[in-house]
Structure 1
């Protein structure tokens, strides 16, 4: 089973568009959207949810007023200022560290699971898909990504899938690291801009750290031919191959607006070029 991760150092480069192309072109796979903070691959693949689960991202404290003697030990101990003067817990400030429950002399503090989001097993026209929706301002996105990948692997093993296709989050933070760990290949989608190159270099560093093979696609290369050439030369110094360049396309935008993966939306010469790039990957 081969795990292929599609990432980008920054948002807006075309990462999810290309993942949608992989979903169409590659058979016998499980699809995972690990961009849990802003998942949108489902907008292209139109999954039908089969199972839904709560994601417990942490815990929060509650004080039982009947048992509380208002001694103030919990307020003195809390490093986050989460306990008010009238001995209520400010849920936005509480980090679920559990210290207050340990120091309370009357066991008036209980710890409760914090539902931070939901994750889903679904079916699409293109195969099984796992994705999630993290709540607003919730933490532990890396933990949720790990859960999605474990679930996708279980489904892939049960169904004897040959591939797991992962739509990773942008950037190089915790959820990206959780997405990259243990994959067989990472595809970085970049664009010919100064920020595109800057963030691509950070992705290259991350891939080297995790010893993951990385290949690059320059999307919208024709918007700045000079920068596209410069990116190609710069990453060549790092031993990284550009496996494809894609032009800016109004047709790609139209496919996204229509909510249809580009390789299903179009049979153009550009679609054929994308298929050729995918054959290089698999």
Structure 2
């Protein structure tokens, strides 16, 4: 089975659009996973039928038992995040500021603070016409996105047993969610665009990916909007030994397809044709790898 993650160095490059299009035209038995848990929207393009929903338990958070609290304030003094506040003449936990470090529970001389699991989101499995989908939704303010990505991948890998392809829509950037996404993958497709910031972030992303045993491929979306920078991206990839498997032109029909909640490959458009060629090039390279 091929494990492929579609990622980007910055948001807005068209990563999810490309992922959905690749899934739509794939002739393989496949499982999809949306690991962009902070803004999970791959499901919007496939109208999935929900199979299961389960809570995601993130890092533990403290709870102050007023029966045992003696109002000494030591916990507030020890908290470096300002998460223990005075309300209604009692010490309480501000969950939005708490990092779950447990220092307050360790410092409390009365044992009035205990660490308890907190629901930080939900994990879903769904059925789509292009295969099963593992995805999730992280609660606003929750900071355990890397752990949630790991849980999504666990479910996707279980469903992918016997399949030809595990196709992952990854998060933008180079942080913990990205690292959790590409761990265990066979290859990554980096979707970039012709802008100075995108080229800068492409270089950072390649540096991170090279710390993992993955094959790296590049696609340039909206390449014709700034062809000079596209040439700079190509020159960088040539110098680094990276294969550019496709260039996708700017195409207003992409926006129309997204607004209609469907992959662009279901429309007769220049972008759809380019993604078809990209798919052929990409999987040809993967078969040789």
Number of equivalenced pairs: 279
Counterpart Cα distance in 1 of 2:158 and 2:200: 36
TM-superposed CA distance for 1:69, in Å, is 2.2
Question: In structure 2, what is the equivalent of residue 207 of structure 1?
Answer: 209
Structure 1 residue 99 corresponds to structure 2 residue 100: no
Secondary structure at 1:164's aligned position in 2? strand
Q: Is the 8 A contact 2:249 2:274 kept in 1?
A: no
- 1:197-276 mapped onto 2 (5 Å cutoff): 197-263=199-265, 265-268=266-269, 270-276=271-277
- 1:90-145, Cα deviation, whole Å (9 max, x unpaired): 22232222233334343322222111111100011111001111111110101111
Counterpart Cα distance in 1 of 2:85 and 2:195: 49
Instruction: Output the aligned Cα RMSD.
Output: 1.6
Counterpart Cα distance in 2 of 1:184 and 1:22: 16
Secondary structure at 1:202's aligned position in 2? helix
Question: In structure 1, what is the equivalent of residue 41 of structure 2?
Answer: 40
Secondary structure at 1:169's aligned position in 2? strand
Counterpart Cα distance in 2 of 1:82 and 1:220: 45
Structure 1 residue 114 corresponds to structure 2 residue 118: yes
TM-superposed CA distance for 1:268, in Å, is 4.4
Name segments (4+ residues, structure 1) moved above 6 Å: none
- 1:42-191 mapped onto 2 (5 Å cutoff): 42-85=43-86, 86-157=90-161, 160-191=162-193
Counterpart Cα distance in 1 of 2:225 and 2:30: 34
Counterpart Cα distance in 2 of 1:82 and 1:233: 49
Secondary structure at 2:59's aligned position in 1? strand
TM-superposed CA distance for 1:269, in Å, is 5.7
Counterpart Cα distance in 2 of 1:99 and 1:196: 40
- 1:5-48, Cα deviation, whole Å (9 max, x unpaired): 10111111111111011111223111001111011111111111
Q: Is the 8 A contact 2:251 2:269 kept in 1?
A: no
TM-superposed CA distance for 1:246, in Å, is 1.2
Deviates more, 1:76-85 or 1:10-19: 76-85
Cα–Cα, structure 1 residues 105 and 213, in superposed 2: closer, same or farther, change >3 Å? Answer: same
Structure 1 residue 5 corresponds to structure 2 residue 25: no
Counterpart Cα distance in 1 of 2:263 and 2:130: 10
Secondary structure at 1:87's aligned position in 2? strand
Deviates more, 1:80-89 or 1:8-17: 80-89
Cα–Cα, structure 1 residues 105 and 269, in superposed 2: closer, same or farther, change >3 Å? Answer: closer
Counterpart Cα distance in 1 of 2:194 and 2:183: 27
